[in-house]
């Protein structure tokens, strides 16, 4: 049995190693157009920023190690230029010698990945304009920085790679700006969760141009839809597209985006040809809709599944959940499942809540709060998404939530999880448990919620009571118009100040004290509602909405 794999990064390398472990007698050939195999794409920004100092550490395997450990024939700078399905051969060009040859196969795995989108705009191909996808791209950027000593940079696109590049260029001492077409950074987040990210990244000296796309590049000026930015270098990070021209040319079915269509076994429309990684269409694990979600973890799993099926082991890929995480200086941003925009687009009747909990016990030094948002199906209570923005401990909470979603847990199931606890690591009531407790109360009707986006339309007349239960000191630092202040610890004594017979909308800083206030009010016969996320979330979102798009006055 002879298997040829086109593409030696992530999915391709994973498939090759798995296939060898399953079949010692198989002939396995990996054709890689580039000069590296199995390299760490996700580490590239950190090499540019000097966090990773050894170039060799970016390469997880070499052809020599693949040969000695797995007996796999890895051919670097060998480009597959044509697939001949009828003859079951591949036409290959050896880029080292320009020799053209044919290679036969019994099974073929396509793992061509995705390529950076380079907008068709004037100046986008300039000498100081870069994209980042592979090691040669990385070396080109690093050499430019070392030789030209740029003082400023603009990153076009506020996704994961764009934000990571902005951080690392900032660490090198460059004046950095990010221009993003959407209204917030990190697309998997909702705007309300991204607000904290925006405020934090601005505090690090990185300027944001939101709702502002690139029109053209004139020399060292990035011309935006609204305004201009002067910069010594431009990083284009506006997304990637599947690199599937080879598949299309041989008749393999692709979708409107260009992604290769595969079944649950990673088989394409042509027998004995499989496809994995960023080039394939996947099913969204939550909505079951067709999706393009280019992530390393799913690519590796798909490579393993393709190898299993080639070796005769029934194995299925059951969708991509979109679990992702980002380091931003000291901040951690993580998401899994779908966000509100996706839930609305899918027609899901969902509910949501927020908590603001410590990374570990408050009495142990250096505890820091994290902002957590969870979404669930209102009818089934099954979790459909979660987002966390914070610092220490974000990663482990998100991994628990991602696992819960993968195994079909209800949001209320989180209350019963027995998680590891010691003061340096967590709290006896972990933030994950707290999400479950809050959802239990909502599902049982013990608490009603309202949200930051409801506040503007709340009546400011005698038909409702708007109640702020924070301390007087907190209120002096900022308040919501129309809310009267009765601190929680005074509520019972001053309950006569709250008229009966009409709804009471209550808020505190994070939603905890206002929940207690709502329980007091409910126990006394009031109809109360708690502001999910509290003043802290409301202030963060409203302040962000009031920040004007940054326009360089020097460039107008």
d(CA 155, CA 231): 10
Tokens for 375? 């979404």
d(CA 454, CA 503): 14
The answer to whether the beta carbons of residues 517 and 506 sit under 8 Å apart is yes
For tokens 């909405």, name the residue: 545
Burial 403-442 (b: 16+ CB within 10 A, else e): ebbbeebbbbbbbeeebeeeeebbbeebbbbbbbebbbbb
* 42 noted as active-site residue: yes
Rounded to 5°, the CA angle 452-456-462 comes to: 115
Residues 6+ away with beta carbon under 8 Å from 277: 7, 9, 10, 11, 12, 111, 112, 113, 294, 299, 302, 303
d(CA 10, CA 278): 9
Which of 168, 177, 194, 147 shows the shortest CA–CA distance to 43?
Answer: 168
The answer to whether the beta carbons of residues 398 and 317 sit under 8 Å apart is no
Compute, in degrees rounded to 10, the torsion defined by CA atoms 181, 185, 191, 193.
180
The rounded Cα 502 to chain-centroid distance in angstroms is 42
Which of 369, 365, 366 shows the shortest CA–CA distance to 356?
Answer: 369
Q: Which one-letter DSSP state was computed for residue 497?
A: G
d(CA 78, CA 30): 9
Tokens for 429? 């009531």
State the catalytic residue, choosing from 42, 250, 518, 552: 42
DSSP letters, 13-35, are HHHHHHHHHH-TT-EEEEEESSS
Rounded to 5°, the CA angle 279-32-87 comes to: 80
Which of 496, 528, 497 shows the shortest CA–CA distance to 515?
Answer: 528
Alpha helical stretches, state H, 286-417: 296-310, 340-345, 394-406
d(CA 155, CA 171): 14
Known catalytic residues? 42
């Amino acid at each position: 049995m002879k298997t040829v794999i086109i593409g030696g990064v992530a999915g391709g390398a994973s498939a090759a190693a798995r296939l060898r472990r399953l079949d010692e007698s198989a002939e396995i050939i990996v054709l890689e157009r580039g000069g590296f195999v199995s390299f760490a794409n996700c580490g590239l920004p950190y090499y540019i920023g000097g966090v990773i100092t050894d170039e060799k550490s970016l390469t997880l395997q070499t052809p020599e190690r693949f040969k000695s450990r797995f007996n796999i024939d890895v051919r670097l700078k060998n480009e597959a230029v044509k697939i001949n399905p009828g003859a079951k051969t591949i036409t290959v060009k050896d880029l080292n010698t320009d020799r053209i040859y044919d290679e036969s196969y019994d099974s073929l795995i396509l793992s061509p990945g995705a390529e950076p989108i380079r907008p068709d705009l004037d100046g986008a191909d300039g000498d100081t304009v870069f994209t980042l996808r592979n090691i040669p791209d990385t070396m080109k950027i690093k050499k430019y920085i070392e030789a030209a000593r740029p003082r400023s940079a603009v990153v076009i696109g506020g996704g994961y790679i764009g934000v990571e590049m902005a951080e690392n260029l900032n660490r090198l001492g460059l004046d950095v700006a990010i221009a993003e077409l959407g209204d917030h950074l990190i697309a998997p987040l909702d705007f309300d969760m991204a607000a904290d990210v925006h405020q934090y990244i601005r505090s690090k000296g990185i300027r944001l141009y939101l709702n502002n796309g690139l029109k053209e590049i004139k020399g060292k000026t990035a011309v935006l839809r609204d305004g201009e930015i002067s910069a010594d270098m431009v990083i284009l990070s506006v997304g990637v597209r599947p690199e599937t021209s080879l598949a299309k040319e041989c008749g393999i079915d692709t979708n409107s985006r260009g992604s290769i269509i595969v079944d649950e076994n990673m088989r394409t429309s042509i027998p004995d040809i499989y496809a994995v990684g960023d080039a394939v269409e996947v099913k969204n694990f939550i909505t079951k809709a067709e999706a393009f979600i280019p992530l390393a973890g799913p690519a590796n799993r798909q490579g393993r599944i393709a190898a299993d099926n080639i070796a005769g082991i029934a194995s299925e890929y059951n969708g991509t959940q979109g679990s992702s995480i980002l380091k931003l200086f000291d901040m951690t941003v993580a998401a899994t499942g779908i966000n509100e925009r996706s839930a609305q687009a899918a027609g899901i009747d969902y509910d949501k809540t927020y908590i603001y909990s410590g990374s570990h016990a408050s009495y142990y030094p250096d505890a820091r709060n994290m902002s957590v948002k969870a979404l669930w199906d209102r009818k089934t209570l099954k979790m459909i998404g979660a987002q966390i923005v914070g610092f220490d401990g974000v990663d482990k909470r998100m991994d628990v939530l991602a696992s819960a979603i993968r195994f079909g847990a209800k949001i209320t199931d989180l209350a019963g999880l027995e998680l590891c606890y010691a003061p340096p690591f967590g709290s006896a009531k972990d933030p994950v448990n707290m999400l479950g407790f809050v959802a239990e109360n909502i599902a049982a009707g013990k608490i009603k919620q309202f949200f930051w986006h409801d506040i503007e339309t709340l009546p400011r007349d005698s038909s409702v009571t708007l109640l702020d239960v924070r301390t007087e000191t907190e209120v002096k630092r900022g308040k919501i118009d129309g809310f009267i202040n009765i601190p929680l610890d005074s509520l019972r004594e001053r309950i006569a100040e709250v008229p009966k017979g009409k709804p009471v909308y209550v808020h505190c800083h994070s939603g905890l004290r206002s929940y207690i206030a709502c329980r007091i009010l409910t126990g006394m016969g009031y109809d109360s509602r708690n502001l999910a996320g509290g003043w802290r979330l409301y202030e963060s979102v409203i302040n962000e909405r009031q920040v004007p798009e940054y326009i360089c006055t020097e460039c107008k």
